[in-house]
Structure 1
Amino acid sequence: MLNRRSFLSFATAGAAAATLPVALSGMAHAEDKTRPAPHMMPIPADAPNVAILIHPGMVALDLVGPLTVLTILRCRIFLVWKDKSPIATELGFSVPPTHTFNECPNDLDVLLVPGGTIGTIAYMNDPVVIDFLADRGSRAKWVSAFCTGSITLAASGLLNGYDATGYWALTRFLPLMGARHVDQRVVVDRNRITAGGTTAGIDCALVIATKLKDEEAARRVALILEYSPQPPFHNGTPAEAGPERTQKALEHRKGRDAEVEREAMLAGQRLGI
């Protein structure tokens, strides 16, 4: 049970984490204890190391939701990319990587891959990206992805032989790279945690929180975020939307989905599947 002091401490952390620039500033100085970011709680010495792959064209919400959860949980976050050039999201604003692939720790508690179809198409057969994922993922305690990030993760071979899910329009391509698609919002198979489309990133991060800490810690984060979705209608899955709306959505995606399928087939061939 939370006492008043504990609740205020978590609420303060939550308010800070909800502001992306502040959270990024805190991560950039996570290892520099002489320069703590304002309003950020210190990162414990034994904090879990979490690497999040960011890439040009990524979906901003794919990053912000899980980043907020894991920052409140007081993880040590590494936003990783090939270099430290600002990463342009699909909304037009940019996010600076905190570490390059080479600077990312070799041994991670969590390797997390968010999504964004444009980036998925561009990087699922990029040898630099795939080699990084395969290397860090081979040793990470937990390997996780959601939205189209599950497709990128599958392209690295890390979902071969695992139950997995991802963005509903693309999950049909997971078997091309050896994964078994399971139609659930979050799927846990051994140390692999995958989840559905963009908003499922928060669910995914909360499941990760239960693995890194415990359910009570994850529940505290959910309370701080007041995470209790009540949409005005239920239309977020093909089952809820119905066949007509789902088909219309697929028609709008036809060109890019064909590109994903092409890259998935190439990845499957590269993986010998």
Structure 2
Amino acid sequence: MDVAFVLYPKMTALDLVGPYEVLGHQPEVTSHFVAESLEPVVTDAGLTMLPTTTFAELDRADLIVVPGSGRWEDALADGVVAAWLREVHPTATWTTSVCTGSTLLAQAGILAGRPATTHWAVRDELAARGAVVSTDRVVVDGSVVTAAGVSAGIDLALTLVGRIWGDERGRFTQLFIEYDPQPPYRVEVPDEPPADLVTFARSVFGQ
């Protein structure tokens, strides 16, 4: 199974690395880190990642993982990722996104009229781009799977492992990576976030 992990400038590293740590260890998977060029890609927190192939070279994949970004509007304005998604999505078995990566799927026309989730701070923006926005952590709609903010990428990948290779493999993988979240703080993702938090989150996202 060929899995394309999409890289682009200012992407969020955990959006991609979380799913990669779950999917990349599956024996059937061949991982491809695909970007516009083979030049190093610097994430929004400064981590440097190296592509292994380019959008021009990779014209198909069984599974596509699109990470989000703290600068997601820059990726939309660039348009390169969305253009590639329009080409490869029709032949992919699974097309997925994490966090604000859903806005790139929407830009490519993949989420029109479909249920999808994203980071809570950009739900309105995703809805404005044609998606039927859900507050669920992971949304599966046919071959399209979307995850909420950042850490939800691990949940997305475990969901895919169960769907593709069965629940037993999924449970083993979850045990293997010791995914049993016990965060030090109880912070619930808001259905109706306070206005001051939304304002702050938008400032972080550069809006």
With structure 1 as the length reference, what TM-score do the two structures score? 0.71
Q: How many residues align?
A: 206
Cα distance in 2 for residues equivalent to 1:148 and 1:254: 12
Question: How big is each residue's C-alpha offset from its partner over 1:35-81, in whole Å with a ceiling of 9 and x where there is no partner?
Answer: xxxxxxxxxxxxx1111111111111112111100112131111111
Q: Which residue of the other structure, out of 196, 200, 205, is the alignment partner of 1:252?
A: 200
Whether 1:212 and 2:180 are equivalent positions in the alignment is no
Match of 2:87 in 1: 135
Question: Could you say what secondary structure the match of 2:127 adopts?
Answer: helix
- Matched ranges for 1:149-164 at <5 A: 149-164=101-116
**Alpha-carbon shift at residue 131 of structure 1 (Å):** 1.3
Contact 2:44–2:70, Cα closer than 8 Å, also in 1: no
Whether 1:195 and 2:147 are equivalent positions in the alignment is yes
Question: How big is each residue's C-alpha offset from its partner over 1:171-202, in whole Å with a ceiling of 9 and x where there is no partner?
Answer: 11222221101110001111110010000000
Q: Which residue of the other structure, out of 71, 91, 114, is the alignment partner of 2:45?
A: 91
Contact 2:68–2:99, Cα closer than 8 Å, also in 1: yes
**Alpha-carbon shift at residue 111 of structure 1 (Å):** 1.1
Contact 1:125–1:155, Cα closer than 8 Å, also in 2: no
Q: Given residue 232 of structure 1, which amino acid in structure 2 is its aligned partner? A: P
Cα distance in 2 for residues equivalent to 1:54 and 1:180: 26
Question: Could you say what secondary structure the match of 2:24 adopts?
Answer: helix
Cα distance in 2 for residues equivalent to 1:236 and 1:58: 24
Whether 1:71 and 2:24 are equivalent positions in the alignment is yes
Cα distance in 2 for residues equivalent to 1:232 and 1:216: 29
Cα distance in 2 for residues equivalent to 1:187 and 1:53: 20
Structure 2: where are the runs of 5+ without partners? none
- Matched ranges for 1:1-273 at <5 A: 48-74=1-27, 75-104=29-58, 106-118=59-71, 120-239=72-191, 243=193, 246-255=194-203, 259=207
Question: Could you say what secondary structure the match of 1:145 adopts?
Answer: strand
Cα distance in 2 for residues equivalent to 1:201 and 1:93: 18
Which structure has the larger Rg?
1
With structure 2 as the length reference, what TM-score do the two structures score? 0.92
Higher helix share: 1
Percent identity of the aligned residues? 35
Structure 1 62/254 Cα, relative in aligned 2: closer, same or farther at 3 Å? Answer: closer
Structure 1: where are the runs of 5+ without partners? 1-47, 260-273
Structure 1 156/49 Cα, relative in aligned 2: closer, same or farther at 3 Å? Answer: same
Question: Could you say what secondary structure the match of 1:226 adopts?
Answer: coil
Considering Cα pairs closer than 8 Å and 6+ residues apart, tell me whether 1 or 2 has the greater RCO.
2
Cα distance in 1 for residues equivalent to 2:171 and 2:64: 22
